[in-house]
């Protein structure tokens, strides 16, 4: 029977591309989302992928949501922590609420989703935890102290999970996308977008499908010796 994959933030942007790619690769896919019911319904109708609504910032909601997914599809064996938000502001203007909202979703959300599925992965001696971090978690970014801190924290969490899970057949890896042609990036003023592209040696924005292909690679049974790794996918913009 096909393995079950759950993608948080899986109905839009990079998450939607990941959900589609995993389904095409033969997985039974569940896509989590937090708020946009219309987008989730349209995505499900288009793809046939089941969607489940809860906030990854709420631990109890994650436990309940995972129980719903597992009742419908089976135990989650591949977890893709993709859900994330931004609340940008220069540090001297950043509010405690802007800080906490981003940390709660982007960092604590990875804990909230991974912690409940971890015991089952240990028992079954198989698991894949793939977390979508960011180029800005590697290099920092003006106006994104909260976001950069959360995404850098995801990398430390991933490396630690890799050490704990390895002997149980669990791998934990991260992907750091650069600037991808999502709705959010395409909505910025053209001059700003051109300036961003000017910093990318490849001379273009990335495509969501390029991140999705990295996920399917890391999710495969054959990727079992890749653990604690960070795939940097940014067109040569930043080297680690």
Which residues are marked as active site? 147
Q: What stretches of 125-168 show up as alpha helix (H) in DSSP? A: 135-139, 145-165
For 39, the token pair is 């987008």
Burial (0-12, 13-18, 19+ Cβ within 10 Å), 134: buried
Cα torsion 105, 110, 111, 116: sign: positive
What is residue 206's DSSP assignment?
A: B
* Whole-number CA gyration radius for the chain: 17
Which phi and psi (to 5°) does residue 6 adopt? -120, 130
**Sequence-ordered list of residues with C-beta below 8 angstroms from that of 234, at least 6 positions apart, any chain:** 135, 176, 177, 178, 179, 200, 206
Angle, CA of 64, 150 and 8, to the nearest 5°: 35
């Amino acid at each position: 029977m096909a393995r079950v994959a759950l993608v948080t933030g899986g109905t839009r942007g990079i998450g939607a591309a990941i959900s589609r790619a995993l389904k095409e690769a033969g997985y039974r896919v569940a896509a989590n989302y937090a708020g946009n019911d219309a987008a989730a319904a349209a995505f499900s109708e288009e793809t046939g992928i089941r969607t489940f609504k809860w906030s990854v910032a709420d631990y109890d909601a994650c436990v309940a949501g995972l129980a719903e997914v597992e009742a419908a599809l089976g135990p989650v064996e591949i977890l893709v922590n993709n859900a994330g938000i931004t609340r940008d502001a220069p540090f001297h203007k950043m509010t405690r609420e802007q800080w906490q909202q981003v940390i709660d979703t982007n960092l604590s959300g990875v804990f909230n989703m991974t912690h409940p599925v971890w015991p089952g992965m240990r028992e079954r001696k198989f698991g894949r935890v793939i977390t979508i971090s960011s180029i800005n978690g590697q290099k920092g970014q003006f106006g994104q102290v909260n976001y950069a801190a959360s995404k850098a924290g995801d990398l430390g969490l991933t490396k630690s999970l890799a050490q704990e899970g390895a002997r149980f057949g669990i791998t934990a890896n991260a992907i750091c996308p650069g600037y991808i042609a999502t709705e959010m990036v395409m909505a910025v003023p053209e001059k700003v977008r051109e300036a961003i592209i000017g910093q990318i040696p490849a001379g273009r924005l990335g495509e969501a499908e390029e991140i999705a292909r990295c996920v399917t690679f890391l999710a495969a049974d054959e990727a079992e010796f890749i653990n604690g790794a960070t795939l940097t996918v940014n067109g040569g913009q930043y080297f680690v």
